[in-house]
Chain A
Amino acid sequence: DIQMTQTPSTLSASVGDRVTITCRASQSIITWLAWFQQRPGKAPNLLIYRASTLESGVPSRFSGSGSETEFTLTISSLQPDDFATYYCQQYRSYPETFGQGTKVEIK
Chain B
Amino acid sequence: QVQLVQSGAEVKKPGASVKISCVASGFTFSKYYMHWVRQAPGQGLEWMGIINPSGDTTTYSQKFQGRVTMTRDTSTSTVYMELSSLRSEDTAVYYCTKSREGACDYWGQGTLVTVSS
Q: Please give the residue numbers on chain A whose beta carbons come within 8 Å of chain B beta carbons, in ascending order.
A: 1, 32, 34, 36, 38, 43-46, 49-50, 55, 87, 89, 91, 94-101
Contact with B45, one of A45, A46, A87 (Cβ below 8 angstroms):
A87
Please count the residue pairs between chain A and chain B whose beta carbons lie under 8 angstroms apart in the complex.
Answer: 58
Beyond the given A43-B95, A95-B63, A96-B47, please list 8 additional residue pairs across the A-B interface where CB-CB is below 8 A.
A34-B103, A36-B45, A49-B105, A91-B103, A95-B47, A95-B49, A95-B61, A98-B44
B interface list, Cβ under 8 A from A: 35, 37, 44-47, 49-50, 59, 61-63, 95, 100-110
> Which residues of chain B have C-beta atoms less than 8 A from A50's C-beta?
101, 103
Chain B contact residues: helix, strand, loop or mixed: strand
Give the contacting residue for A49; candidates B45, B101, B110; CB below 8 A. B101
Q: Which of B37, B47, B103 makes the CB contact (< 8 A) with A46?
A: B103
Q: What are some 28 contacts across the A-B interface (CB < 8 A)?
A: A34-B103, A34-B104, A36-B45, A43-B107, A43-B108, A44-B37, A44-B45, A44-B95, A45-B107, A46-B106, A49-B101, A49-B105, A50-B101, A55-B105, A89-B45, A89-B103, A91-B102, A91-B103, A94-B59, A95-B47, A95-B61, A96-B35, A96-B50, A97-B47, A98-B44, A99-B44, A100-B44, A101-B45
Residues of A within 8 A of B50 (CB): 94, 96
- A1 surroundings in chain B (CB, below 8 A): 62
CB atoms of A101 and B44 under 8 A apart: yes
The closest CB in chain B to the CB of A101 belongs to B44
Q: B residues within 8 A CB of A91?
A: 102-103
Compute how far the CA of A6 lies from the CA of B51 in the bound complex, rounded to whole angstroms. Answer: 28
Contacts of A101 in B (CB 8 A): 44-45
